[in-house]
Structure 1
Amino acid sequence: MTRRTWFITGISSGFGREITHQLLERGDRVLGTVRKAEDAQAFMKEFPDTFASAILDVTDASAVRRVVDTAFAELGTIDVIVSNAGFGLFGAAEELSDSQVEDIVATNLMGSIHLIRSALPHLRKQKSGRVIQISSYGGQVAFPGNSMYHATKWGIEGFVESVAQEVVPFGIGMTIVEPGGARTEFRYGSARVATLTSAYSGTPAHAFQKMLDPKNGLAAGDPKRMAARIIESVDVEPAPMRLVLGSQALDSTIQVLRKRIDGFEAQREIAASTDFPPGE
Structure 2
Amino acid sequence: MIGSLRQHVKKDALAALESEYGAQLWVTALDLTNPQAVNGAVNQAFQIFGTVDVLLNNAAYGLYGTVEGISTKQTGEVFSVNVFGSLNTARTFLPHFREQGGGQIIQIASMAGQYSAPVTGMYSASKWAVEAAFEALATEVEPFNIQTTIVEPGGIRTNFVGGNGVFGEDPIAYQDTKVEKNGSTDER
> Shorter-chain TM-score: which interval?
0.7 to 0.9
> What displacement does 1:64 show?
0.6
Q: State how far apart, in whole Å, the 1-side matches of 2:137 and 2:45 are.
A: 22
| TM-score in terms of structure 1 length | 0.59
Contiguous gaps of at least 5 residues in structure 1? 1-33, 214-280
Q: 1:89 to 1:124 in 2, by over 3 A?
A: same
Q: How does 1:230-245 map to 2 (within 5 A)?
A: none
Q: State how far apart, in whole Å, the 1-side matches of 2:71 and 2:187 are.
A: 20
**Which residue, 113, 117, 138 being the options, matches 1:164?**
138
Structure 2 counterpart of 1:249: none
> What displacement does 1:197 show?
2.5
Matched-pair contact (CA < 8 Å) for 2:55–2:106: yes
Partner SS for 1:53: coil
Structure 1 or 2: more strand by fraction: 1
**Which residue, 96, 105, 110 being the options, matches 2:70?**
96
> Which amino acid in 2 is paired with 1:72?
F
Question: Which has the greater radius of gyration?
Answer: 1
Matched-pair contact (CA < 8 Å) for 1:145–1:204: no
> What displacement does 1:150 show?
1.1
Q: 1:125 to 1:204 in 2, by over 3 A?
A: farther
Matched-pair contact (CA < 8 Å) for 1:35–1:57: no
Structure 2 counterpart of 1:73: 47
Q: State how far apart, in whole Å, the 2-side matches of 1:51 and 1:208 are.
A: 40
Number of aligned residue pairs: 180
Q: How does 1:47-58 map to 2 (within 5 A)?
A: 47-58=21-32
State yes or no: 1:177 paired with 2:151: yes
**Which residue, 106, 109, 121 being the options, matches 1:132?**
106
**Which residue, 108, 115, 139 being the options, matches 2:82?**
108
Q: State how far apart, in whole Å, the 2-side matches of 1:192 and 1:80 are.
A: 30
State yes or no: 1:154 paired with 2:128: yes
> What displacement does 1:167 show?
0.8
| TM-score in terms of structure 2 length | 0.86
- Percentage of identical aligned residues: 38
Structure 1 counterpart of 2:60: 86
Q: 1:144 to 1:167 in 2, by over 3 A?
A: same
> Which amino acid in 2 is paired with 1:154?
W
> What displacement does 1:184 show?
1.5
> What displacement does 1:41 show?
5.3
Ranked by relative contact order (alpha carbons within 8 Å, sequence separation 6 or more), the top structure is: 2
Q: CA RMSD in A?
A: 2.1
Matched-pair contact (CA < 8 Å) for 2:64–2:168: yes
Contiguous gaps of at least 5 residues in structure 2? 1-6
**Which residue, 171, 183, 187 being the options, matches 1:208?**
183
